[in-house]
A and B are shown apart, each in its own frame.
Chain A
Amino acid sequence: MAATFFGEVVRAPCRAGTEDEEEEEEEGRRETPEDGEVRQQLARKREVRLLRRQTKTTLEVSLLEKYPCSKFIIAIGNNAVAFLSSFIMNSGVWEEVGCAKLWNEWCRTVDTTHLSPTEAFCVFYHLKSNPLVVLCQCSCYVAEDQQYQWLEKPHNPGNHTQSNSCQVFWLQMVFGSCPRKNVQVTILTCRHVTDYKTSESTSSLHTPFLKALKTQNFREPPCCSLLEQPNIVHDLPAAVLSYCQVWKISAILYLCYTDVMKLDLITVEAFKPVLSSRSLKSLVKNIPQSTEILKKLMTTNEIQSNIYT
């Protein structure tokens, strides 16, 4: 308990999140069949599904079971997505192989069955000339309870436990039940610089800057310095990297710390050192053209966000 300035006594928040568990226990005791039905409907709404938009069908197996690959590159967040769009997807023909449909409180799209190109939140592509290269552009926020959905598919879909009876997992959806050790995973994402812990003040840091975290099986030298303790990463990038570490998959996460979280030219260009990595080097063709594409992307976005038009 804590006393406020106005003399009230309020329940102080607990870092360990234990109030949620106590509330859950109370809710569990008071829950009526109608409450249970509402909760199940919400769980069904939060399911993650993998679709093939061209044929309007759902993928029954995980993405990497359907499209085995040796390189899997994931961009999470609008700046990382813009980087891959401008510097990697500008050359070669990329064919869409799947699109993740998901809903949570942070998504702005209501109808996720018919995603338009500008709204497409989580799309998977492979390179037509080399289908072993698969790329994922993820602009939406994948909530904690959906992240494991993103990565794996249940081993036996018929035997779900009560808690996940309707859920196809994000982790499950991409990697499937059999972790593939011969794939190299590269993850790109951004974080706000205030998340970065350092003994100096974060206001004195020169942003944006790049940091890396790699799994034990990743043998190449990273393109930037490693993320020092006590810094940590969470959300979907952490879910993917954890999966890769546990199942001994070679993976690296490139994390750009920036003070501008919306689409920003300087932040996107901060990912450029990653172009010299073994995964991306062979996919980069024309950097000056990429820079032009990036500038156009910025301008389009600025016009759209102008509240006076």
Chain B
Amino acid sequence: MFVPCGDSVPDLSGCTLLMPAVSVGNVGQLAIDLIISTLNMCKIGYFYTDCLVPMVGNNPYATAEENSTELSINAEVYASPSKKLVALQLRSIFIKYKSKSFCEKLLSWVKSSNCAKVVVLSSSHSYHRNDLQLRSTPFRYLLTPSMQKSVQNKIQSLNWEEMEKSPCIPEIDDSEFCVCIPGGGITKTLYDEGCSKEIPMVILLKFVSEGDNIPDALGLVEYLNEWLQIIKPCLQCDDPSASALPWKMPSSWRLLFGSGLPPALF
């Protein structure tokens, strides 16, 4: 359930909700971190649930001593009122058998908040790509029917590729075709529920492998930005190798691959 930080429940009607699916490489979550950090979004509440493994830590977006001691939990909601953007960040994996329950509770909250649309940032195993997918862009999108009318033209003008359908049961020759997102976590469930509950939802995903997925996250936010224009390009960028957009990495991305090495190792 949504629990606000303050005394009153903020009005989210008409806002775009950005959220990650916990998926391969944690790309969606890294992308949401980039968005919250770059836009300096403020925390407006918690999505308190028994479906996610509990975790706590100090403010992952701290920029100074003063704001480094705010406690963060596993599911929090941030907002940028000027951009009518709300971001839900999920920081842990689902407890066994609880992912479907989570999707139901989440979509129920989305409906009651009257969000204009939901954008799910996700990823899928790159080794599952077919030959055509291997030769094309690694980014894909999916729209629920209630979203198609409003954004189809814009999406077509961006030349984006829709996620292809694949055989539901690959071993059977005349198997039906459906959307499969291996490694996508709850992405498929959210999409199916979004379709059946008529929720305006867009899924944006990238084919990735496990490893250092920061470049994948940067790619995914830039893909999102082509459409939503969350931030404008940096006009005074001299370094051609840098991203054209000033995405700010949060302080919590330090030591992603563990502590320092013992000198005796060398």
Q: Which chain A residues (118-177) contact chain B, with CB distance < 8 Å? A: 144-145, 147-148, 161, 163, 169, 171
Least CB distance, A41 to chain B, in whole angstroms: 15
In the assembly, what is the distance between CA of A106 and CA of B116, in Å? 46
The reply to whether B57 and A230 contact each other, CB–CB distance below 8 Å, is yes
Partner of A24, one of B3, B96, B127: B96
Chain A 1-16, CB-CB to B under 8 Å as 1, else 0, gives 1000000000010111
Least CB distance, B24 to chain A, in whole angstroms: 5
The reply to whether A238 and B55 contact each other, CB–CB distance below 8 Å, is yes
Partner of B259, one of A148, A199, A236: A199
The reply to whether B54 and A235 contact each other, CB–CB distance below 8 Å, is yes
- A233 contacts across to B, CB distance below 8 A: 55-57
Check: B260 CB closer than 8 A to any chain A CB: yes
The reply to whether B71 and A213 contact each other, CB–CB distance below 8 Å, is yes
In the assembly, what is the distance between CA of A226 and CA of B66, in Å? 12
Given contacts A18-B23, A198-B255, contact A241 B93 (CB under 8 A): no
Partner of A242, one of B56, B70, B101: B56
- B97 contacts across to A, CB distance below 8 A: 24, 163
Given contacts A230-B57, A233-B56, contact A204 B262 (CB under 8 A): yes
Given contacts A18-B22, A144-B53, A201-B262, contact A229 B254 (CB under 8 A): yes
Check: A33 CB closer than 8 A to any chain B CB: no
Least CB distance, B196 to chain A, in whole angstroms: 16
Given contacts A230-B60, A238-B55, contact A17 B74 (CB under 8 A): no
Chain B 55-80, CB-CB to A under 8 Å as 1, else 0, gives 11111101000001111011000000
Q: Which chain B residues (32-60) contact chain A, with CB distance < 8 Å? A: 46, 48, 50, 53-60
Main secondary structure of the interface of A (DSSP, over half): mixed
Least CB distance, B206 to chain A, in whole angstroms: 14
Chain A 200-244, CB-CB to B under 8 Å as 1, else 0, gives 111110000000011110000000001111111111101101100
Given contacts A201-B261, A229-B62, contact A245 B23 (CB under 8 A): no
- B258 contacts across to A, CB distance below 8 A: 197
Check: B185 CB closer than 8 A to any chain A CB: yes
Check: A20 CB closer than 8 A to any chain B CB: yes
Given contacts A163-B97, A229-B59, contact A203 B185 (CB under 8 A): no
Across the A-B interface, how many residue pairs have beta carbons closer than 8 Å? 146
The reply to whether A232 and B56 contact each other, CB–CB distance below 8 Å, is yes
In the assembly, what is the distance between CA of A123 and CA of B73, in Å? 27
Given contacts A148-B50, A199-B255, A229-B68, contact A18 B185 (CB under 8 A): yes
- B68 contacts across to A, CB distance below 8 A: 226, 228-229
Least CB distance, A46 to chain B, in whole angstroms: 11
Partner of B46, one of A199, A201, A235, A246: A246
Closest to B91 in A: A232
The reply to whether B184 and A18 contact each other, CB–CB distance below 8 Å, is yes
Chain B 76-110, CB-CB to A under 8 Å as 1, else 0, gives 00000000000000001111111101000000000
Check: B210 CB closer than 8 A to any chain A CB: yes
Contact count band on B = 35 or more
Partner of A20, one of B25, B96, B184: B96
Q: Which chain A residues (252-270) contact chain B, with CB distance < 8 Å? A: 253
Q: Which chain A residues (21-56) contact chain B, with CB distance < 8 Å? A: 21-22, 24
In the assembly, what is the distance between CA of A14 and CA of B23, in Å? 8
The reply to whether A1 and B95 contact each other, CB–CB distance below 8 Å, is no
Partner of B24, one of A14, A203, A230, A242: A14
Given contacts A14-B183, A16-B22, A197-B259, contact A21 B57 (CB under 8 A): no
Given contacts A163-B97, A241-B71, contact A201 B263 (CB under 8 A): yes
- B73 contacts across to A, CB distance below 8 A: 238, 242, 245-246
In the assembly, what is the distance between CA of A201 and CA of B265, in Å? 11
- A15 contacts across to B, CB distance below 8 A: 24-26, 210
Q: Can you name 13 A-B pairs with beta carbons within 8 Å? A: A14-B183, A14-B210, A15-B24, A17-B93, A20-B94, A147-B54, A200-B259, A228-B68, A229-B58, A233-B55, A234-B92, A242-B54, A246-B48
Further contacts, 5 of them, CB under 8 A, given A144-B53, A197-B259: A18-B23, A161-B101, A230-B253, A238-B56, A242-B54
B residues lining the A interface (CB < 8 Å):
3, 22-26, 46, 48, 50, 53-60, 62, 68-71, 73-74, 92-99, 101, 125, 127, 182-186, 210, 251-256, 258-264
